[in-house]
Amino acid sequence: MGLIKSIRNALTKTSIALGKSIAKDKIVIEELERTLIEADFGVQITMDIIEAVKKSPDKKSAIEEIKKYLINILELPEKEERSETKPYVVMFVGVNGVGKTTTIAKMANIELKNGNDASLVAGDTFRAAAIEQLTIWSERLKIPIFKGEYGADPASIAYRAISESKGENRIILIDTAGRLHTNKNLMMEMEKIVRVLKKIDDKYPNEILIVLDASIGQNNIQQAKQFMVYVPLTGIVMTKLDGTAKGGSIFPIVRDLKIPVKYIGTGEGIDDISPFSSEEFVNTLFPD
């Protein structure tokens, strides 16, 4: 499926609702307001949009204003560019069931398609089934996997993966156990992975992506903040946009957390992932 098409399909639940309130020749303010709140844009952003619409002379300029305003929220100031370490290391964190393992497989597949090498690290040693799940992906994708016994220390598995790939032009994707902030031990374990990898190179892990389930909406903000206490998050992967009408929550989430969305998950299949583009996302929500 094409990139734009898959985003569009994923966002239908959110965008159809918006489309109804932005009818052919006019915008129905009350309906738009209700739809924005239901799509989880949050109160502040909804009020800002309604203000902009009221001030606009016509529908066309109203939509232009809305788009400009929303794209501006998503485009955070660029942090330093991708550091050139070999290997390049990306770690995935988040609570249970959000789609970490699936996203890792999808991202490994993207790297392979781009002609790059990829390895997996089975850092979720908390559930035996998790090691199994990632092993199956490594077999399907025919890429190396580093793993330990159930209960093993994920930091040392990740350390080994990087040490043994030294100097290689390769991306290493580290899976981790799902955890809640209330589980102090697991939070400390996650912190330790980062600390141990920094002993190899201060730039490691190059990226720490938090995987968030879009259907949780704005509640993701609190969830992510609890992870930020322990590790420096560099980006967001927003999964399950295909199954929710809460696609608008991306805006308050990015505005509050001040970290960019890097990828969006648009289904359960291996190709159901897209690199995130603010413009494409907003244009899909508000088609002309």
Nearer to ligand GDP, 45 or 217 (CB): 217
Nearer to ligand GDP, 97 or 169 (CB): 97
Closest-approach residue to ligand GDP (CB): 265
Report the distance separating Cα 162 and Cα 87, nearest Å: 7
Q: Determine contact, residues 277/49, Cβ cutoff 8 Å.
A: no
Positions that interact with ligand GDP (CB under 6 A): 94, 96-102, 178, 211, 239-240, 242-243, 265-268, 272
Question: Least CB distance from residue 240 to ligand GDP, whole Å?
Answer: 4
What, of ligand GDP, Mg ion, none, does residue 267 touch, CB below 5 to 8 Å by kind? Answer: ligand GDP
Query: Omega of the bond prior to 287 within 30 degrees of 0, cis?
Result: no
Report the distance separating Cα 23 and Cα 115, nearest Å: 45
Question: Least CB distance from residue 273 to ligand GDP, whole Å?
Answer: 7
Question: Least CB distance from residue 229 to ligand GDP, whole Å?
Answer: 20
Annotated binding-site members? 94-101, 175-179, 239-242
210: how many CB neighbours lie within 10 A of its CB? Answer: 25
Give me 3's structure tokens: 């990139």
Closest-approach residue to Mg ion (CB): 101
Give me 138's structure tokens: 């490594």
Q: How far is CA 208 from CA 11, 25, 193, 236, 242, in A?
A: 26, 45, 11, 9, 24
What, of Mg ion, ligand GDP, none, does residue 268 touch, CB below 5 to 8 Å by kind? Answer: ligand GDP
The count of chain residues that interact with Mg ion, using the rule CB under 5 A, is: 3
Question: Least CB distance from residue 177 to Mg ion, whole Å?
Answer: 7
- Closest alpha carbon to 121 in 86, 82, 165: 165
* Matching residue, tokens 């499926």: 1
* Matching residue, tokens 């393992």: 101
Annotated binding-site members for GTP? 94-101, 175-179, 239-242
What, of ligand GDP, Mg ion, none, does residue 240 touch, CB below 5 to 8 Å by kind? Answer: ligand GDP
Give 235's strand partners. 209
Sole window of 11-19, 92-100, 149-157, 187-195 interacting with Mg ion (rule: CB under 5 A)? 92-100
The 101-140 site mask, x for binding Mg ion (CB under 5 A), equals x----------------------------x----------
* Matching residue, tokens 């016509």: 58
5: how many CB neighbours lie within 10 A of its CB? Answer: 11
Q: Determine contact, residues 150/140, Cβ cutoff 8 Å.
A: no
Helix (H) or strand (E) segment spanning residue 160: helix 154-163
165: how many CB neighbours lie within 10 A of its CB? Answer: 20
What, of Mg ion, ligand GDP, none, does residue 224 touch, CB below 5 to 8 Å by kind? Answer: none
What, of ligand GDP, Mg ion, none, does residue 231 touch, CB below 5 to 8 Å by kind? Answer: none
What, of Mg ion, ligand GDP, none, does residue 278 touch, CB below 5 to 8 Å by kind? Answer: none
Nearer to ligand GDP, 42 or 94 (CB): 94
Which residues of the shown chain bind Mg ion in the complex (CB under 5 A)? 100-101, 130
